[in-house]
């Protein structure tokens, strides 16, 4: 299967509009010098190459990117930060061989993908330095933006913060029928924060309250800019930070048309001018530049930190008659639950009072049974709660913000728990039997033990 040769140049597909050539040339152009500049010159948004998941060799290794002629030391998948964007169609399959070029053990978890336990990247399936591991699974789920990252015992936060993460896009017929913006008009945006030292290296310091970087990166690019046409764009947003929450907004006050989230399309398009997302969560957004004059600049901002994330400059007049669909998909509600389980996220390292033990099975879930899972916290939030092995439907949030937001409808695999909140979800494991984990996706909490093993039986 040619699993030993790196094939990162195959299936390269430019998706970056005016800056697509950067991706096509395979240049790992990325982050820039670390000084905060209020009126920063913008740097072309890096678009990782798109590759097929059907047979791919994925190397995780230290890499030195060239950033405006300066070296930038990171950990990267095949030399890219973020890693290559996998694309697969429902009904297809994935066959990815990890080659661990790190000095530490690692795994690859396919966040949002329903895969057999052996392909889920559980910390028990750690790959030693120099080792390889074959991840093979059928792609049999809704179209969605999923992603991949290490899930290494007590080292996930470090490996992700230093650069290991990438997108995994699933397409299906239902999505194709909507004729959504594609090609250069479909842009992945991996939003995260980072720290960069004076030598140009990404750095990581574990902090029990969560790693908060001093600068934002979008697709690894600091002070990112993208030239856009007078067209409708589809932005596939992943919150890829370790701990930071982003409150996204456009500087011109225009609303986002939200068409999807973690688990794919919503039932109907929702319009919001501010959206808050937490580590692990995804958004599928349409943004309309058709009424804007050439030369107009619109900033994608993070209102929490007051950061300018991505400057969108209207650069070219085109005619685009793509419609924003009002109705998107049918979400079949999960039936009434057979069982209720309670999960208390305690302190910064415990679920239901217990610190994660890699060898302990915390509970068993019958295959195919609809259950209500109730998440609550004793403090130290935010806790973005993530479940492997199935998506869920958010039913109710009480306390705290006290509501379910439009971007939390449909199917989710990660839901934000703030202090004082109780969130109820319905979940049914009808993919595979075997060992999975659920955990806080603030990666420092995960690494300290806010995680549980469960077995679908």
Residues interacting with Cu ion, by CB under 5 A? 383, 440, 442, 445
| Contact present, 216 and 87 (Cβ < 8 Å) | no
> Footprint of ligand C2O on residues 275-304 (CB under 6 A)?
280
Instruction: Give the full edge-to-edge strand order of the sheet including 363-365.
Output: 363-365, 451-456, 434-440, 383-387, 414-417
The only residue of 439, 450, 452, 453 in contact with ligand C2O, by rule CB under 6 A: 439
Closest-CB residue for ligand C2O? 111
The entry of ligand C2O, Cu ion, none that residue 111 binds, CB within 5 to 8 Å by partner kind: ligand C2O
The nearer residue to ligand C2O, 148 or 307, going by C-beta atoms, is 148
Interface of this chain with ligand C2O, residues 373 to 392, rule: CB under 6 A: 386, 388
> Which two structure tokens, joined as six digits, stand for 407?
């971007």
Nearer to ligand C2O, 48 or 225 (CB): 48
Total residues binding ligand C2O (CB under 6 A): 10
Residue 111 interacts with ligand C2O (CB under 6 A): yes or no: yes
Q: How far is the CB of 346 from ligand C2O (least distance, A)?
A: 19
Residue 412 binds which of ligand C2O, Cu ion, none (CB < 5-8 A, kind-dependent) = none
Q: From the CB of 387, what's the least distance to ligand C2O, in Å?
A: 8
CA–CA separation, 393 vs 374, rounded Å? 12
| Range list of β-strands (E), 324-408 | 339-346, 350-351, 354-355, 363-365, 370-377, 383-387, 392-398
Two structure tokens written together for 340:
């209720």
Residue 442 partner contact from ligand C2O, Cu ion, none using kind-dependent CB cut-offs of 5 to 8 Å: Cu ion
388 binds, among Cu ion, ligand C2O, none (CB under 5 to 8 A by kind): ligand C2O
Q: Which residues pair with 440 in a beta bridge?
A: 385
CB atoms within 10 A of CB 179: 10
Q: Pick the stretch among 124-132, 197-205, 361-369, 435-443 that binds ligand C2O (CB under 6 A).
A: 435-443
Which residues does residue 181 pair with via DSSP β-bridges, in sequence order?
none
Q: Are 153 and 162 in contact (CB under 8 A)?
A: no
State which H helix or E strand residue 156 sits in. helix 156-161
CA distance readout (Å), 279 to 221, 335, 369: 18, 28, 28
Closer to Cu ion by Cβ: residue 159 or 380: 380
- The nearer residue to Cu ion, 42 or 383, going by C-beta atoms, is 383
**C-alpha to C-alpha distance for 174 and 180, rounded to whole angstroms:** 11
8 is an interface residue for ligand C2O by CB under 6 A: no
Partner from Cu ion, ligand C2O, none contacting 428, C-beta within 5 to 8 A by type: none
Q: Which residues contact 301 (CB under 8 A, 6 or more apart)?
A: 248, 249, 250, 251, 307, 308, 309
CB of 369 to Cu ion, least distance (A): 27
In the chain, the N- to C-terminal Cα span, in Å, equals 33
Using CB distances below 5 to 8 A depending on partner kind, what does residue 445 bind out of Cu ion, ligand C2O, none? Answer: Cu ion
Q: Count the residues in the chain.
A: 457
Residue among 228 and 440 whose Cβ is closer to Cu ion: 440
Residues at the contact surface with ligand C2O, assessed by CB under 6 A? 109, 111, 149, 151, 280, 386, 388, 437, 439, 441
């Amino acid at each position: 299967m040619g699993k030993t040769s790196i094939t990162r140049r195959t299936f390269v597909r430019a998706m970056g509009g005016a800056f697509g050539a950067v991706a096509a040339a395979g240049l790992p152009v990325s982050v820039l010098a670390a000084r905060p500049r209020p009126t920063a010159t913008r740097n072309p948004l890096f678009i990782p190459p798109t590759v097929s998941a059907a047979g791919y060799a994925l190397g995780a290794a230290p890499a030195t990117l060239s950033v405006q002629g300066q070296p930038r030391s990171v950990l990267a998948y095949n030399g890219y930060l973020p890693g290559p964007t996998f694309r697969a169609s429902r009904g297809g399959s994935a066959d990815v061989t990890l080659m661990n070029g790190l000095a530490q053990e690692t795994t690859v978890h396919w966040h949002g993908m329903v895969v057999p336990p052996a392909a889920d990247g559980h910390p028990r399936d750690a790959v030693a330095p120099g080792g390889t591991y074959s991840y093979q699974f059928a792609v049999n789920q809704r179209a969605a933006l999923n992603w991949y990252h290490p899930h290494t015992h007590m080292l996930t936060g470090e490996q992700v913060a230093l650069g290991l993460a990438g997108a995994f896009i699933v397409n299906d017929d239902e999505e194709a029928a909507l004729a959504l913006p594609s090609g250069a008009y479909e842009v992945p945006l991996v939003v995260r924060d980072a720290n960069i030292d004076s030598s140009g290296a990404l750095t990581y310091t574990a902090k029990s309250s969560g790693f908060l970087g001093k600068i934002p990166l979008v697709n690894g690019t600091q002070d990112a800019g993208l030239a856009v046409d007078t067209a409708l764009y589809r932005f596939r947003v992943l919150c890829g930070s370790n701990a930071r929450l982003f409150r996204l907004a456009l500087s011109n006050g225009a609303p986002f048309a939200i068409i999807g989230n973690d688990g794919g399309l919503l039932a109907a398009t929702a319009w919001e001018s501010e959206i808050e997302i937490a580590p692990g969560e995804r958004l599928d957004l349409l943004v309309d530049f058709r009424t804007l004059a050439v030369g107009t600049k619109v900033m994608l901002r993070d209102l929490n930190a007051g950061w300018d994330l991505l400057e969108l400059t209207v650069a070219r007049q085109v005619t685009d008659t793509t419609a924003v669909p009002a109705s998107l998909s049918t979400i079949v509600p999960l039936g009434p639950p057979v069982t209720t389980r309670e999960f208390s996220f305690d302190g910064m390292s415990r679920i239901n009072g217990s610190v994660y033990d890699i060898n302990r099975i915390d509970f068993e879930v019958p295959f195919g049974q609809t259950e209500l899972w109730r998440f609550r916290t004793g403090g130290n939030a935010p806790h973005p709660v993530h479940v492997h092995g199935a998506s869920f439907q958010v039913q109710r949030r009480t306390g705290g913000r006290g509501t379910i937001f439009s971007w939390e409808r449909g199917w989710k695999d990660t839901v934000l728990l703030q202090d004082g909140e109780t969130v109820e979800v319905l979940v049914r494991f009808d993919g595979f039997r075997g060992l999975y984990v659920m955990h806080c996706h603030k990666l420092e909490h995960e690494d300290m033990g806010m995680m549980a093993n469960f077995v679908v039986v």
